[in-house]
Chain A
């Protein structure tokens, strides 16, 4: 009969943490930060089909690093929970905080109960009416949650990247400036001998939660629009949507209003006659 060796709970947790940390540090990084017009997500991603950054709900986005199958599972769970709550209550009742709590519960349970923890680190971001109202939650493999102050980096050499972000990030940056800071921070590590490197547009996944939109605020920035931003051209806002700032909760949303239509949004923002 095989002999069962005793391992202390501390040792087990330490081993699991080490496994998760190593897995997360091996991957490429992602950066989330607030700017004047919303919340920006930039992830280094060689694939254009398998996303690290995605939409959860009207004003909530999701970014993750680590093992794709594991964070994809969490993302789907988040979309399901948000859609279920939005349908049973109202679209305004879906909050980033509730989602972050649910993710924390799930990750915490997996960390303690399963033999292998999820090797993921995720960010749940909710865009507010002003940069100060943005909420960024960092969730780690063991289910701990942190409320981040307007910027965060995950995965790879996250600490070095955070250093660059801390030095250069301001909440009143334009989209163009914010993208440049994010890409500079991501490229500040991983070059030859730890030097900086340049990251091409086709290796970046960029998306925003656009503060000024009502309804679904998540937009991906790809192709020519992204290249223009990186080249320092026009700080072009993602297409569509009203350009007047509006508070997310100040609108009289009708229960049957879909967030999908930009024109319906415009009509609402002007107020009905």
Chain B
């Protein structure tokens, strides 16, 4: 089964040899299942000069309960792109792992990386495969962003793609947010985003937007200063993906919180 000529796509290979490992291929009993599993919440992405920043809060909720305080929802998809997940956490993590393997697999088989648009299209078709489960309440919506190595202008190489339950992708200009707090995060970004922000400014802006989301959305967690749990912030630039250390995000989060002590609206 491994030696057939086949395709360079890992999901196509799985669909032949182990379809049960693909999310969306499992038969689900009828009925709504939305409240039975934890939900991951808000992710924001901002394109900046020379790259893109993605940040996510750390909360997962199950109904009115906090299921996890320190879940990590922003991950590197490969060396130059980032993926953040919102929606049913279990399926989201599975989808994201599968997407990581899909990109790495293609790279190893073909000896070359997929284009950024190719990666976004692959992710869209994987989400589309989960449509049945999504209609029963187990929806997963990722946010995808990356540094486009083929971009003519390196300043505009940071690109963001959003999706819906039926796939997508939709390329976003400037910034985007997904998840339950995205309405508030996007409102904050709408007023503060400027084209050509530096990566550092975009990082601060992302943490601010998450603070605004947590301020008005119960399912989004703000910076937890007592437990030292801060948002996960990652960047994708020409040098590759980079995750800010807890010390770095902690310093930014503390600055944001102390500024809000004086002006709660930011």
Contacts and interface: CB of A to CB of B under 8 A. Distances in A.
A84 B96 contact: no
Contact of B72 (A83, A87, A256): A256
Contacts of A88: 18, 21
A68 B242 CA distance: 37
Contact of A83 (B75, B105, B111): B105
Interface residues of A, number: 36
Given A55-B108, A267-B243, A273-B247, A76 B6 contact: yes
B95 to A, nearest CB: 11
Interface in B89-134: 93, 96-98, 100-101, 103-105, 108-109, 111
Interface in A242-263: 254-263
A17 interface: no
Contacts of A55: 108
A80 B21 contact: no
A203 B240 CA distance: 30
A116 to B, nearest CB: 15
A272 interface: yes
B201 interface: no
Contacts of B176: none
Contacts of B72: 254, 256
Given A79-B109, A260-B76, A87 B97 contact: yes
Contact of A77 (B2, B18, B75, B76): B2
Given A84-B18, A87-B21, A260-B79, A79 B246 contact: no
A261 B108 contact: no
Interface of B: 2-3, 5-6, 10, 13-14, 17-18, 21, 72, 75-79, 93, 96-98, 100-101, 103-105, 108-109, 111, 228, 240-243, 245-247
